[in-house]
Structure 1
Amino acid sequence: MSEPFVLAPPSGPRWVIHPLEDLYGDGYVYAAATELHDDDMKASTVAKFEGLFVGQHHVNMAKFVEALAAGWSGWDGVRRWWSLEEELELDARHDGRGYVSLGVTLRASGLDLDDTRWSARTVFKLEAGEEMTRLAADLTYFLRPQPG
């Protein structure tokens, strides 16, 4: 079993993604337990990720973070990515001075027909160049297809 992915700056919040599980054995939909830790907060959920099939309007998380790293010189507004059922959401803002604020939001799994499921969010401040490039490489490696 592989190790989890962990984003944990020297001080502050921690984000953990546990190894992916191929839900149906066909490479199309994966699930992973994911956690956020910040001060006295701990939240966890199971997020679903796209596998081999990536719809034309849905970009996988590794590609999203790679695009953030490639845009190290900055962008306007907020860039967002979310898992298939929105249990995990990333939002990124560039401050124009070399740092990216990467928000990570977790939500309870399952349908939310009445908009009442819980959510938890924390923000990581990362250097737009090397730190974002390293994060993109680490996520790409972690989310790579595993030999069956």
Structure 2
Amino acid sequence: MRSHIDEPSDVTVRCNDDRGVGIRLGDAVHPDDDAGATHHAAAGRLVNYAVELHAPGMTARLDRVVGWTGEARELDAFLTDVARDFGGWDGARRWHTDDRDFAVSAVFRSGGRVELTWTLRPCRAADGTWTASVTTVLEAGEQMAALAADVRHFLSG
């Protein structure tokens, strides 16, 4: 995985073991900004973004995942906590959006590797019947820390 910002609005995560497997966070919009509201940096603000999962023969996308910036319960905080524990942990750590349509679980593996399983489950869809997941493998230290920083930058816009 090389977490990097393709454009200011995108974060792409690729699996170290299979570069054809990954996710992309993109199309971030802060709807409150359109309304002319003022924000304090420490106070969270609403952010909508798209999540796309891809693997050989599969692509899944949610166009509107709802999140918040500057919140301890958000994706960037989860990834930062995982990065801080580069020495490992037992079991799986889990995070999800309030709507539970986007979720991530992290499992520490031998050799200082972290498996992140990214899951989309469109609860707002009329049928709500599909679920898609991909697993990316990252190094526990610098790669996880870089990913957390990229996601924090992405969410804050």
TM-score calculated relative to the size of structure 2: 0.77
Question: Which residues in structure 2 correspond to 1:1-148 (within 5 Å)?
Answer: 2-9=8-15, 11-25=19-33, 28-45=45-62, 46-51=64-69, 54=71, 59-110=73-124, 116-144=128-156, 146=157
Gaps of at least 5 residues in structure 1 are none
Q: What CA distance in whole angstroms lies between the structure 2 residues aligned with 1:39 and 1:75?
A: 30
Q: 1:138 to 1:90 in 2, by over 3 A?
A: same
Determine if contact 1:93/1:100 at 8 Å carries over to the other structure: yes
* Partner-residue secondary structure (3-state), 1:18: strand
Select between 23-32 and 11-20 the one with higher mean Cα deviation. 23-32
Q: What CA distance in whole angstroms lies between the structure 2 residues aligned with 1:125 and 1:96?
A: 12
Count of paired positions: 139
Q: What CA distance in whole angstroms lies between the structure 1 residues aligned with 2:29 and 2:123?
A: 16
Runs of 4+ that moved beyond 3 A: 23-28
Q: What CA distance in whole angstroms lies between the structure 2 residues aligned with 1:103 and 1:51?
A: 22
Q: What CA distance in whole angstroms lies between the structure 1 residues aligned with 2:69 and 2:9?
A: 19
Q: CA RMSD, aligned part only? A: 2.3
Which AA in structure 1 matches 2:104?
A: L
CA shift at 1:117, angstroms? 2.6
Partner of 2:4: none
Determine if contact 1:107/1:119 at 8 Å carries over to the other structure: yes
Percent identical residues: 28
Which AA in structure 1 matches 2:61?
A: S
- Structure with more relative contact order (C-alpha pairs < 8 Å, separation 6 or more): 2
CA shift at 1:94, angstroms? 0.5
Q: What CA distance in whole angstroms lies between the structure 1 residues aligned with 2:8 and 2:111?
A: 36
* Partner-residue secondary structure (3-state), 2:77: helix
TM-score calculated relative to the size of structure 1: 0.82
CA shift at 1:97, angstroms? 3.0
Determine if contact 1:47/1:86 at 8 Å carries over to the other structure: no
Q: What CA distance in whole angstroms lies between the structure 2 residues aligned with 1:20 and 1:83?
A: 15
Task: Output one character per residue of 1:88-126: Cα deviation in whole Å (capped at 9) or x when no partner.
Answer: 1010000143110000001124178x9x53110000011
Q: What CA distance in whole angstroms lies between the structure 2 residues aligned with 1:6 and 1:17?
A: 6
